[in-house]
Every structure is written in structure tokens, then in C-alpha cells.
Amino acid sequence: MSATRRSASTGPDVADRHELVRRANIEVVFRTISEGAPVNRVELVASTGLSKPTVLSVVAALLEEGLVRETSATAPRNSAGRIPVSYEANPQAAYVVGVDLGGTKTAVALADLSGALLAKSEDVTTREGGPAVVQQISRLARDVAAQAGVPWRSVDALTVGTPGVENRDGTIRMAENVPGLDSVKVAAALRRSLRTEVRLENDVNLATLGEFEQGVARTCSTFVLLAIGTGLGMGLVVDGRLLHGSRGAAGEIAYLPLGADPAGPEARRRGAFEVAASGSGVQDILRSEWRATRARIGTALCRTSTAREVYAAAALGDSLGIRVVDRHAAIVAQAVLAVASVIDPELVVMGGGIGANPVLLQPLRDAVERICPWPLRVESSALGADAGVIGAVHHARRALPEIESARVSTRLQTGDPR
């Protein structure tokens, strides 16, 4: 092969590599400013490991694009008596939308680059199948942007929290509470409808991220969130990062062999721990206690009471309700110990309609203390039902440096970006 042909064939590859490096440099500088503001040029060079000329050119492009701005935050004077120029992200430079898609309701929120919520809306989740779910999310997303007075073209990223796990083809499995998600490529359909970047994440993972960013776990680097409601799920943050596993199924603790026969037909379908500890598990405990208790004077519960009614009765001092909650807490404590033995978390956060119920907290703490050989902090969710949508907003925010780097890259001169 001639030198001319060799040059022609390798040229585009070199240009592509330079473009990738440029984008990576922009992303790391923008992310450093967004997460560490206020930050000056010297700190940027030290934090990113990039050369001073590269940092200066990237900052200039970010300033021109309006993604960052100079800040008047107080900073130490240098030897010449001047205050170094510092930078922070411009909150109005980009907007994101977070969606918490649940079996009964869908919550949608719009936030600016700082993560401040500007508008929020909820609707009953449609039961008409996957395409109808996509249409509903699209409508609600545009509605919250309009509610906040933000043109849709200014929304650069959207994250949807869904039950279940995303398949390689973009459909979603293990999401029985939202029919039809296994028949539509949710992210691709939303991208076509909304013409913006769309990402999917497990709903419990997003609730975990919400607690990490704004909730009870914001000072922790390794913790778990155990969500208990109609079903079960767990989000895990290890060394500051969400843990997904090889197939995205990390935290599917419904299948822990606890509380029920893992080989039973119902446990094979739903998971033994979910059978024992979800809302239906609480009802099973109630029926067991009902059969064992002959004198039922003083209880407001009946044999068919729901988990919500059991916990409400326990809150009022109902003796039968208290016994059911204590047994439920003992089962949950076994799962807490199993997970704590593997990842050694600083904190266990309890979420979900049942898990975050304040009535469960002290019995669970007592049950964990009885079986865990080391101190383990257990707390209820600080964000409650909003944890998922807040987490979705922050997930979308985290994607912005990568998304914006492509746009800003065009402002840098061609050449060796290192």
C-alpha cells in the first residue's frame, strides 16, 4: 500500500481520536466545575490532570456556550494580591427532566443544571400498554417544561425510572406492575417523540440516588436502600457509585432464600423474600397470627386486612398489629444482615410504601441489633415518595457533561487537544 493511500485511510481515524479526546477533556472540566464549584483555574488543572492551555481553552468554550460562569465567591488572594477567577455551572444553561414511572402513578419533574426543582406533575399511570405509557410520559414532560416557562428545546436530558430491568433490545423485563413495557423500546420511542437524550434506570436505583444526593444518605459513600411495598428491591451505592451488576440486576433481593421456600412455585416466580416480606407477606403473617390468636378483643383488624391497615393499627397500639409488625421486622432484618455481610454499608435506608413507614423503623432496628454482631445504622427514607423522581433528575444531570461536550467541542480549534 502506498504512503498516500495509507495516509488517506488513517487520517479519519486520527481525527476521530482527537475528537474523542477533546470531548473527554471538555467533559472532565465541566464535570469538575459542576461538582466542585466554585473552582479556579489552578484547582482545575490539579483536579483534572490536564495541561493549563487545555483547561483555559475548554473553560473559554464553556463560558462562550454559557454552560459555566465566573463567580464572585471569596477565594484566597495570590502573591500579587489578586483574587483568582473562579467558575461555577450556570444553572439556567441547561434543563433536565426526571420521570418516576410506577404501577399506580407517574411523577415527572423539571430541574435546572443545579438540580433545583422548577416544576412537578403527577398522573395515574395508564394501563393501556407500552405505547400509551410513552405518550403519557411525553405529554407530562412537555407539561412540566411549559409549567416552568422553559422552552422544550432547552431540555437536554431526560431519565425515566422504571420497574424491572432493561433488556439489550431496549424493552423492559420484570415490570409486571406496568403492562406492556416488554413490547416497546421505551428509550428509543421517547427519543423520537421528545427529540432529546433519554436514559432508563431502575426505579429503586433512582430512589437510592435521590437519597444519596438530597436525602438521609448524602454524607455516605457506601449504603443501601431497601424498598418494600407491593414488591421488593434494593439499590446499592458502593464507594460513591451505583452498583448495577453484569446484567443490571444487582439489588434484586426478592430472590434471597429467606422467609419462604425458594423452590416453591410462587417463590420461583416472585422470589422467596418477596413472598415473605412484601405487602402480601404482611397479610400472610396476619392470617397466621389470626389463626394462632383466639382472643381477638382489642384489635381493629380482621383476617383480610391489608398491610397498610396492619401498620395503621400498629401505630395506634393495636396488639395484633404490633405482633405482625414485629414478625415482619424479624424477616426483613435477616435480609439486612445478609446484604450487610457482603458490602459492609455505613447505612441501610428503608424506602417504599411499607419500608419507609415509621412504625417499622424501631422494631427493625431492634431485630437487626439482635442478629447483627456489629453496629449498623438503619434509617427511614428522608424523601419518601419523591425519592424516585428526585433521583431521576440527578441521574439526568449527571449525563449533562457527556451530552454537552459534543456541542462545546465544535468551539475548540482543531489540533492536538492534549
The residue segments making up the domain with residue 64 are 3-91
- Cα–chain-centroid distance for residue 249? 14
Question: What CATH number should be reported for the domain holding residue 282?
Answer: 3.30.420.40
52/195 Cα distance (integer angstroms): 36
pLDDT of residue 2: 42
Rounded to whole angstroms, the Cα distance separating 28 from 195 reads 25
Assess whether pLDDT exceeds 70 at residue 5. no
Is 411 domain-assigned? no
Residues 15 and 36 in one domain: yes
- Report the C-alpha gap between 26 and 118 in whole angstroms: 27
Same domain flag for 198 and 312: no
416 within a domain of the structure (yes/no): no
Rounded Cα distance between 27 and 103, Å, is: 36
Domain boundary among 91, 110, 141: 91
Q: Let me know if residue 118 belongs to a domain.
A: yes
Q: Is residue 412 part of a domain?
A: no
Considering 43, 67, 91, which residue would you say is the last residue of a domain?
91
pLDDT in tens, 387-405: 999 999 999 999 999 888 8
Three-state DSSP state, 249: coil
- Tell me, yes or no, whether 324 and 194 share the same domain: no
pLDDT in tens, 220-235: 999 999 999 988 999 9
Q: Does the residue 226 lie in any domain?
A: yes
Q: How far is CA 275 from the centre of its chain?
A: 25
Task: Quote the DSSP letter at residue 177.
Answer: T
| Of 252, 257, 207, nearest in space to 380 by CA | 207
Q: What is the rounded average pLDDT for all residues in the chain?
A: 89
Q: How far apart are CA 24 and CA 132, in angstroms?
A: 37
pLDDT in tens, 119-167: 999 999 999 988 999 999 999 999 999 999 999 999 999 999 998 778 8
Name 379's bridge partners. Answer: 349
For residues 155 and 115, membership in a common domain is answered with: yes
* Global pTM value: 0.86
Q: List the one residue out of 253, 168, 257 whose CA is nearest residue 208.
A: 253
Residues 227 and 316 in one domain: yes
Q: If residue 121 lies in a helix (H) or strand (E), which one and from where to where?
A: strand 117-124
Looking at the structure, do residues 145 and 133 belong to the same domain, yes or no?
Answer: yes
The length of the chain, given as a count of residues: 418
What Cα–Cα distance (Å) separates residue 183 from each residue in 85, 131, 196? Answer: 53, 9, 22
Residue 1 in this model has a pLDDT that exceeds 90? no
Residue 399's φ and ψ, nearest 5 degrees, are -80, -15
Residues 370 and 394 in one domain: no
Residue 80: is its pLDDT beyond 60?
no
Q: 186-194 and 130-147 helices cross at what angle (nearest 10)?
A: 40
In a domain, 375, yes or no: yes
CB 177 within 8 A of CB 138: no
Tell me how crowded residue 357 is: count the other CB atoms within 10 A of its CB: 21
Summarised one tens digit per residue, pLDDT across range 294-304 is: 656 679 999 99
The number of distinct structural domains making up the chain is 3
